[in-house]
Amino acid sequence: MNNPTSINRFWHKLFEDTKNFEEPILISKQHQYIKLEQIVELFELIRQDKSPGKNNYLRAYIDGKESYEISGEIVNNSPSTDLNEWLINIFKSDKYGLVINGALSWSDSLGCSVNAFVGYLKNEMLKQYCVAFDLTLFIGNYGYTPFGAHLDDPDHRTLLTNLGPNDKKMILWDPEWVRERYGNVSNYYYPEKILNEGKIFTLKPGDMFLLPSKYYHVGYSDKYSITAALIIKKKNPLDLILEELKMECESNCNDFYDTSFLSSNDFKKGGTTLNTYLRKNPLNSNILLSRSLKRIASNFNFSRRPNKRPTSIVIQDITTFEPIGTLEVEQNGKKVNVFCRGRKIGLPNTKQHLCLIEYINQHKRITMRDLQEKIKLEKRFLEAFLKTLYTYKGVNLVEQNEWL
144-192: pLDDT as tens digits: 998 899 999 999 999 999 999 999 999 999 999 999 999 999 999 999 9
Phi/psi for 139 (5° steps) reads -130, 135
Residue 143 has pLDDT above 90, yes or no: yes
Which of the four pLDDT bands, split at 50, 70 and 90, describes residue 254?
Answer: very low
- Residues 361-377: what's their mean pLDDT? 94
Arithmetic mean of pLDDT over the chain: 88
Nearest to 360 by CA among 325, 399, 332: 325
Select from 3.40.50.300, 3.40.50.720, 3.40.50.620, 2.60.120.650 the CATH code of 4-235: 2.60.120.650
Which of the four pLDDT bands, split at 50, 70 and 90, describes residue 280?
Answer: low
- Residues 244-250: what's their mean pLDDT? 77
Q: What is the pTM of this model?
A: 0.88
Look at 137 and 284; give whichever has higher pLDDT. 137
Structural element, H or E, at residue 275: helix 274-280
Which of the four pLDDT bands, split at 50, 70 and 90, describes residue 236?
Answer: confident
Name the segment(s) of the chain with CATH classification 2.60.120.650: 4-235
Look at 270 and 327; give whichever has higher pLDDT. 327
Alpha-carbon distance 68 to 241, whole Å? 34
Helix H segments across 281-393? 285-297, 351-362, 368-374, 379-391
- Residues 126-133: what's their mean pLDDT? 92
Query: For residue 292, what pLDDT is reported?
Result: 93
Query: For residue 2, what pLDDT is reported?
Result: 61
Transcribe 197-224 into DSSP letters.
GSEEEEE-TT-EEEEETTSEEEEEESS-
Query: For residue 50, what pLDDT is reported?
Result: 85
Name the segment(s) of the chain with CATH classification 3.40.366: 237-399
Phi/psi for 263 (5° steps) reads -95, 160
- Residues 332-348: what's their mean pLDDT? 93
Name the percent of the chain lying above pLDDT 70: 89
CATH code for 237-399? 3.40.366
Transcribe 78-103 into DSSP letters.
---S-HHHHHHHHHTSSS-EEEE--G
Name the percent of the chain lying above pLDDT 90: 73
Tens digits of residue pLDDT in 207-229? 999 999 999 999 999 999 999 99
Look at 256 and 319; give whichever has higher pLDDT. 319
Query: For residue 248, what pLDDT is reported?
Result: 75
* HEC-encoded secondary structure of 56-77: HHEEEEECCEECHHHHHHHHCC
Query: For residue 283, what pLDDT is reported?
Result: 67
Residue 256 has pLDDT above 90, yes or no: no
Which of the four pLDDT bands, split at 50, 70 and 90, describes residue 314?
Answer: confident
CB-based contact 347:353 (threshold 8 Å): yes
Q: How far is CA 126 from CA 118, 122, 210, in A?
A: 10, 5, 17
Look at 225 and 288; give whichever has higher pLDDT. 225
Look at 186 and 2; give whichever has higher pLDDT. 186
- Residues 313-319: what's their mean pLDDT? 87
Residue 315 has pLDDT above 80, yes or no: yes
Residue 365 has pLDDT above 90, yes or no: yes
Query: For residue 51, what pLDDT is reported?
Result: 82
Query: For residue 52, what pLDDT is reported?
Result: 80
Q: How far is CA 320 from CA 215, 247, 387, 402, in A?
A: 50, 31, 12, 11
CB-based contact 366:375 (threshold 8 Å): no
Which of the four pLDDT bands, split at 50, 70 and 90, describes residue 250?
Answer: low
Tens digits of residue pLDDT in 49-104? 988 888 899 999 998 899 999 999 999 999 988 999 999 999 999 899 999 999 99
Look at 382 and 2; give whichever has higher pLDDT. 382
